[in-house]
Amino acid sequence: MQKRKVKVGIVGLGRLGYQHAENLSFRIPFCELTAVCSINEKEVKKAQENLEVPYGYTDYDEMLTNKELDAIFIASPSGFHCEQIIKALREGFHVFSEKPLGLYIEETQKVEKVVMEHPDQTFMLGFMRRYDRSYALAKKKIEEGAIGQPTLIRCYGIDPTKQLDGFIKFATKNYSGGLFLDMSIHDFDLARWYLSAEAKEVWAVGGSYSRTEFNELNDAETGAAMIRFDNQAIGIFVAGRNCAHGYHVETEIIGTKGTLRIGTVPESDQIVLFNDNGVINECFDGFISRFEQAYLSEVEEFVNCIIEGRQPAVSVRDGVESTKIGYACKESFENGQLVHVQNDRFVSN
């Protein structure tokens, strides 16, 4: 008895989007990239040719009329996620959306409602770190009691200096959400996941250190947030856009019986170079190389969920809650005060 292949249409063919398209085409078992969509026609053509994709669209709504497709994969700019998720769900597709769920709390809550109205369709949010082998193994170790009760989590998410100019250019024209929403959203999800707790109170600080443009943007080049969770656990979050040595994603969970660190030195390979500068490890240059395996594994899980008719462990709620924490940090950073995080457990209609 042969498994049917899941046919996927992707929207968004930027750097990460194209990477996903390539994976969907070549590296995900029982999956077929059947359609690509982008407002940029050249991107559509290039993807169709290189990846041998039968259907190409420049209009998202048109792609949704293609009933050969089983699932829609959303890798478009963040501002489009909520609307595109809702439309695809309502057209009966399974949906995968890149993070963030949305840029505003209200729209994420609206998505949550729609997801709940379509329980038979798989919905997955791209919190790929949970599918990174090291992060997944850390979760397993915590559940097995390797570090006792988690009491403190420290998360670093700092983008490489090389992308600093590009970000400033982008942020002067677009709403990025600000440092914490944009950079720490994965970390907020990890903290909730590892601590099994919800955020209560937050204080966030930050500043412009090498580039004054951040002041004008009312944003921070480097920032930190400290969070008190509802089980007394402590969260420390450092976010930034100016990491000289590369892409620095590091997570530490201190427990009553031990500590776990993931990516404490973000070595990109198994090489150590000894020369007259000392002993040198080179680092990852960005999220695509660091999370290459996770980007594959999450999509494998998405496809398996569809085939097996189930939902993934990452739920729409995780997206809503992370967004709330991000907004609390943003508010605290802007007004300098301690901020209480709103934790309504149920969506209000």
What residues from 183 to 202 belong to the interface with its own copies (CB under 8 A)? none
Nearer to its own copies, 102 or 150 (CB): 150
**CB neighbours of 123 closer than 8 A, spacing ≥ 6?**
85, 89, 94, 95, 96, 97, 115, 311, 316
295 to 324: interface string for its own copies, x by CB under 8 A: ------------------------------
46 counts as binding its own copies under rule CB under 8 A: no
258 counts as binding its own copies under rule CB under 8 A: yes
Burial 35-52 (b: 16+ CB within 10 A, else e): bbbbeeeebbebbbeebe
DSSP 8-state assignment for residue 171: H
CB of 96 to its own copies, least distance (A): 18
* Residue in 91, 267, 304, 311 binding its own copies, rule: CB under 8 A: 267
Angle in degrees, 0-180, between the axes of helices 133-143 and 185-195, rounded to the nearest 10: 20
254 counts as binding its own copies under rule CB under 8 A: yes
144 counts as binding its own copies under rule CB under 8 A: no
Chain centroid offset of residue 290 CA = 13
CB burial class (10 A; 0-12, 13-18, 19+) of residue 170? exposed
CB of 211 to its own copies, least distance (A): 9
Q: What is the DSSP string of 193-230?
A: HHHT--EEEEEEEEE-SS-THHHHTT--SEEEEEEEET
340 counts as binding its own copies under rule CB under 8 A: no
CB of 116 to its own copies, least distance (A): 33
CB of 64 to its own copies, least distance (A): 26
CB of 265 to its own copies, least distance (A): 5
152 counts as binding its own copies under rule CB under 8 A: yes
Per the CB < 8 A criterion, the answer to whether 227 and 271 are in contact is: no
Structure tokens of 291? 């999370």
Per the CB < 8 A criterion, the answer to whether 252 and 259 are in contact is: yes
151 counts as binding its own copies under rule CB under 8 A: yes
Angle in degrees, 0-180, between the axes of helices 41-51 and 15-26, rounded to the nearest 10: 30
Nearer to its own copies, 15 or 133 (CB): 133
6 to 25: interface string for its own copies, x by CB under 8 A: ----------------x--x
Chain centroid offset of residue 218 CA = 23
29 counts as binding its own copies under rule CB under 8 A: yes
130 counts as binding its own copies under rule CB under 8 A: no
287, 79, 324, 302: which is closest to 191 by C-alpha? 324
* Residue in 116, 265, 288, 313 binding its own copies, rule: CB under 8 A: 265
* Residue in 40, 174, 218, 264 binding its own copies, rule: CB under 8 A: 264
* Residue in 276, 310, 346, 348 binding its own copies, rule: CB under 8 A: 276
Nearer to its own copies, 49 or 62 (CB): 49
172 counts as binding its own copies under rule CB under 8 A: no
